[in-house]
Amino acid sequence: MKRDIKKEAEKIIHMFPRINSETDPYKVLVETVLSQRTKDENTEKAFKSLFSRYKNVFEISKLNPEELYDLIKPAGMYRQKSERIINISRILIEKYNGEVPDELEELIKLPGVGRKTANIVLYVSFGKEALAVDTHVHRISNRLGWVETKTPEETEVQLKKIIPSELWGPLNGSMVNFGQRICKPISPKCMECFLNEVCPSKRVYKNKSR
């Protein structure tokens, strides 16, 4: 059976949409930093706690990391993340007049900001065609047989060759939702999956899905 990866991607986006309620570039950037290696619900708690106390980049840039510890503790790694958020805030003021740059090359110059974080900001805040590849996108793309890659960076390069650019932005959030609900890292629900007729990994996991 010939695969239509574009249609498969469109179906994931349609069935598992991710609504981005926050689009302010600075807040999206901070939220993405908070989200590193933690669950969505923990990110949300830390994010709301932080911005209920401090409103913008100018207020946060004046703080010491210790002043953020209790506020963002739910997100985990709170010492490292506090320092990173404050350093980013100070750089934004010193070099970008308090604005978040809208170019990948500038975003990845910020401490702790890699391609995934930068691409999320570019899509969510600036509406640019940007493909953020995290562990979910990397894992699922390989499991579905869309790509055969070893790293998220390789996955980004290969996916851009086979998926139209208009799908790059929404694909990340939808793949995250799909990976949390159906295509789980352990014991994926293959028998419930709408892609089980084309997925090459179905035979590996189908007995575990029952």
Q: Which of these, 191, 144, 173, 184, lies nearest to 8 by C-alpha position?
A: 144
Query: Is 39 marked active-site?
Result: no
Cβ–Cβ contacts within 10 Å for residue 4, how many?
11
**Tokens 């790059």 sit at which residue?**
168
Does the annotation flag 199 for ligand binding? yes
- Annotation-wise, does 43 bind a ligand? no
- Residue in 27, 45, 81, 116 annotated catalytic: 116
- 205: Cα within 13 Å, side-chain hemisphere: 20
Task: Give yes or no: 62 in active site.
Answer: no
Q: Characterise 24 by phi-psi region: left (phi > 0), alpha (psi -120 to 50), beta (else).
A: beta
Task: Give the active site residue among 27, 81, 134, 202.
Answer: 134
Q: How far apart are CA 175 and CA 134, in angstroms?
A: 9
Check the annotation: does 96 bind a ligand: no
Q: Buried (b) or exposed (e) across 123-146, using 16+ Cβ within 10 A?
A: bbbeebebbbbbebbbbbbbbbeb
Q: Annotated binding residue at 117?
A: no
Contact 154, 115 (CB under 8 A): no
How far apart are alpha carbons 137 and 172 in whole angstroms?
Answer: 6
Residues identified as active-site: 116, 134
Binding residues for [4Fe-4S] cluster: 183, 190, 193, 199
Binding residues: 183, 190, 193, 199
